[in-house]
Structure 1
Amino acid sequence: MKISIFDVAKRAGVSVVTVSRVLNDSPTVRENNRQKVRQAIKELDYRPNSAARSLARGKTGVIGLTLTTLQDSLFDGIVKCVNDALKEHGYFLALSIGPDTSDSDWGEGSNFLYQEDRVDGIIVLSPLKEENDVLELKRKKIPFVLVDNQLEDMSASVVNVDNYMGGLEATRHLLSLGHTKIAHIAGPELYRSARERKRGYIDAMAEAGHPPFLLVDSDFDIRSGFDIAKSWLAEGDRPTAVFAADDFIALGVIEAFRDAGLHVPRDLSVIGYDDQAFSSAIHPRLTTVRQPSEGMAQEAVKLLLKIVNGTQKRNASVKLEPKLIVRESTASPDGRTLEIDR
């Protein structure tokens, strides 16, 4: 039997009008009633008629999301959580995967989602040319939110993670184990996240009274980490610990030391960033800094839908906290390990 809006109203103990207002994200609904309706929708597995709702609202019922790659479990997690959050509000998700380099042609009209009346709003995930995105979306009056953007003073609504704090905590962890010869392999300067993680490393070393031992700019990939670690091994003056700007770099470092017959963490402690899916599967399991993909997605959807519905008039900025995940790839310089997070 098909579940109707009347069934939802009966289960929640509210009127059909209230259910309709919740489905359309009306700000006039009391929060306790909103929660009752959402719970009833979940229990009954109610699926709103998106086509009818779109006609009634004069909207498409589609939210767009642009990104540069799906070969990243962090981005995969954000996309999945965005899709789940939108589904609760009766929206469909449309994806656009664009160029993955800053000098690629991502010009006017190149993104098929950036067209009037094609989507109700856009989530722009980790943009590389966000000035172009912002100018075009504003000109076409398409509501949008930037997630993990690169410029600090962008006139737009944004959702970011405190990558400076992540870099600070990662380096402090290595310092707390007794390391002082700590290297940092940073990501490309283009990325705000890479710049902030590097700044966190530098400040953590400074507060402990140490200058940066080794600081190298790199790309976010395994080969970069491998080649940099190999050069350290060839030169002889290697660090006792490495904070890598992402888990792919960290994996490359681990592989280079393993290839040289050395052991992590006995001969080198390694900490990554992002908590990619493989981080808990490799040996040794990787200590890393987890980004809150679910929180990033939920905050982006919440903010965007407020903009779409006209209840968010001003630009908003949301900053979420990362979490240090201690596993097996970090230990004291003498090889002793501490309690790890399972």
Structure 2
Amino acid sequence: MARTPALTPPPGRRPSMTDVAKLAGVSHQTVSRVLNHPQTVRPATLEKVKAAIRELGYRPNTSARALVTRRTRLIGVVNPGEARFGPANMTMAIEEAASEAGYATTLAVMRDARAETVERALEFFLELGVEGIVFVAPMSQVAPAAMQLSTTLPVVMIAAGLRESTSLHVVAVDQEVGARMATRHLIDLGHRDIVHVAGPNDWFDARSRIVGWRDELLEADLPVPPMVAGGWDPVHGYEIGRRLVAERRLPSAIFAANDPMALGMIRAFHEAGVRVPDDVSVVGFDDVEGAGYFEPPLTTVRQPFAAAGTRAIQVLLAALDGAPASRTLIAPELIARASTRRFQAG
């Protein structure tokens, strides 16, 4: 019977496991089991996959066979393609922690959770023979992809707001606690009108910071003012700052979802003659490099990126030894600087 053209790899490209799986009508996992544990595959399926391998002339990458023996000492890292301070520093910390443990890392960028994106990442990692995967996954759309991959390989996901699952290991900086710290700091300074300028709603961290801010106000029996939707960039903070001044809706204190937005607001306030912290106190989040050298130096919440990266590798290595799925939260730290002061009425 003639081969279906759509199932044939393009000219010049070496046949891949994806091609074998499509031609045989099975999953990646089944092809992997045929290559590594053929005794676990039903005879009919085994023969179907072998026939597809022969027809395509597929040659397995030798490192893929090391997946089962766990001898590659290679860890896959999925990054959302963000060059922002948080994801970039987290990825660097993971690479350093893996290196200290005697492992190398290989990076795959997954900007979305579409089926073809997941398939491409799975193919990439299986053919390289990675022993496990760490997801730097601040965006909620990536969670289903991590869940899918965790049924094939040990997976650690670094993301706030995720609960325990049967297969997925979660490590996160406790964003809710960090937001509570920022809000409590302002409450302790006597502020009662504390507005939160939030990050994008499709980011786990942004959602968790909203929850922490709201819950801390509620526990203090303070009103929860309308949240201001923002982003992550300084321009978002700058535009919001200008709007608050123009509309005369300036609160006594603002908790910004990250430091760049806080910096943008401070610039807008300065241009309008609004003094920080005399007229309005501002708190950021992340403690980006140089935050202590802003004018004024920025009060913020420091995220322990290195500790989270190290812990993610520790959890992954434990998972490779058979440890059950787990959820680890790491506490952030409030760094009080000169952008906040005690509230003075009038």
Range into which the TM-score falls when normalised by the shorter chain: 0.7 to 0.9
Amino acid at match of 1:324: L
1:290: which partner in 2? 302
Residue 189 of structure 1 aligns with which residue? 201
Aligned to 2:330: 320
Please give the alpha-carbon distance, in whole angstroms, between the structure 2 residues aligned to 1:192 and 1:206. Answer: 21
TM-score under structure 1 length normalisation: 0.74
1:42 alignment counterpart? none
209 and 56 in structure 1: CA distance in 2 versus 1, 3 angstrom threshold: closer
Q: Distance in 1 between matches of 2:81 and 2:68?
A: 35
The secondary structure found in structure 2 opposite 1:319 is strand
Superposed CA deviations along residues 114-145 of structure 1, whole A, max 9, x for unmatched, are 43443111100125333432344134x22210
CA contact (8 A) 1:245 1:272 kept: yes
Looking at structure 2, the residues matched to 165 and 65 of structure 1 have their Cα atoms a distance apart, in angstroms, of 26
Segments of structure 1 that go 5 or more residues without pairing to the other structure are: 1-50, 336-342
Q: How does 1:184-333 map to 2 (within 5 A)?
A: 184-308=196-320, 310-312=321-323, 314-333=324-343
Separation in 1, partners of 2:283, 2:305: 19
Q: 2:133 aligned to 115, 119, 122, which one?
A: 122
Single out whichever of 323-332 and 221-230 deviates more from structure 2: 221-230
User: What number of residue pairs does the alignment pair up?
Assistant: 279
Note the C-alpha offset of 1:61.
1.9
CA contact (8 A) 2:79 2:108 kept: yes
TM-score, normalised to structure 2, is 0.73
Q: Could you list the runs of 5+ residues in structure 2 that have no partner in the other structure?
A: 1-62
Query: Quick one: distance in 1 between partners of 2:265 and 2:114?
Result: 28
The residue aligned with 1:6 is: none
| 1:88 counterpart = 2:73 | no
State the alpha-carbon separation in 2 of the partners of residues 55 and 226 from structure 1: 49
Q: 1:111 to 1:229 in 2, by over 3 A?
A: farther
Instruction: Calculate percent identity across the aligned residue pairs.
Output: 32
Report deviation, 1:227. 1.3
Secondary structure (helix, strand or coil) at the match of 2:308 reads helix
Following the alignment from structure 2 to structure 1, what is the Cα–Cα distance between the partners of residues 153 and 319?
10
Deviation string for 1:163-214 (max 9, x for gaps)?
Answer: 1111111111111111112111112222232222112211222233221234
> For residue 120 of structure 1, what is the amino acid of its counterpart?
E
Structure 1 residue ranges (4+ consecutive) displaced by more than 3 angstroms after TM superposition: 54-58, 101-107, 110-114, 149-155
More helix by share: 2
- 1:64 to 1:166, Cα distance in 2 relative to 1, 3 A: same
CA RMSD, Structure 1 to Structure 2 (Å): 2.7
Please state if 1:77 is matched with 2:89: yes
